[in-house]
Amino acid sequence: MRLPRAFYSRPTLDVLADLIGKVLVHERRGVRTAIVIVEAEAYIGEDDPACHAAAGRTPRNAPLYGPPGLAYVYFNYGMHYLVNAVTEEEGRPAAVLLRAGSPFEGVEAMRRRRMRARAARGAPARAIADAALCRGPGNLTVALGIDLHQNSVDLVEGPLGVEDHGVRPPALEWSSRIGIRRGLERKWRCHWPGHAAVSGPRTARSAAARRRPY
DNA sequence: CGTTCGATGCACT
DNA sequence: GTGCATCGAACGT
């Protein structure tokens, strides 16, 4: 069942928690790929220093200010597309960044896209485990074939969206968001504890983890 | 194992 | 010019 707009039109942290276990689907050229979302993060309002709306409205972050249920896709680090689901209500910039998922449908298509992306970088062709196909926000968009074409599209209907397939995750874990410098005190990263497809610091004692006071 | 660092493009100051 | 909501190869221990 496709999630309705009312699902997104709620406090972002509620939407974030409820997205874990839901299924992100993308149909492209007749190929349907889908993943169970296992990790995501909230970016809420102009007061959140890590939110793209922190500096006010710009052409790039305009979708954040749009109605809930839109996709917000942007290009980062010169090579990665990251996908968000816009939340709250029109005029209140907030979204949930989808960081990792477990393959649910179209695993071979996802592997093909990941391998092709690797080849394009000139990287050696090595096998990619299922759990690693959509581990990390940049890998997730490659596997699902998401890029700027999906920016601002409606998740409520259309080729990209979120469905409920009855998957119910265990008690969720909350922590600081990954890859940001400011706003670390907000524990707005939510994940399915122990799931193999979850990204983040490889070990709890990595330097990156130690640098983060939370 | 753990840690560092380069690739790569664009929004924004 | 600066700084990214990243990834993974390379190198050190």
pLDDT tens for residues A183-204?
Answer: 999 999 999 999 999 997 644 4
Q: Each residue of A15-25: pLDDT tens digit?
A: 999 999 999 99
pTM here? 0.94
Burial state string for A73-109 with b = 16 or more CB within 10 A and e = fewer than 16? bbeeeeebbbbbbbbbeeebbbbbbbbbbbbbbbeeb
pLDDT of A40 above 60: yes
The span from the CA of A28 to the CA of A20, in Å, is 23
Q: Tell the residue number behind the tokens 């504890």, with chain if given.
A: A193
CA distance A71 to A15: 14
Contact residues for strand C with beta carbon within 7 Å? A 41, 43, 50-52, 64, 72, 76-80, 82, 84, 95, 97, 114, 118, 123-124, 126, 132, 136-140, 177-182, 199
Per-residue pLDDT tens over the stretch A104-146: 999 999 999 999 999 988 888 889 999 999 999 999 999 999 9
CA A125 to chain centre: 26
**Residue A120, CB, strand B, below 7 Å:** no
pLDDT score at A203: 41
CB A42 within 8 A of CB A36: no
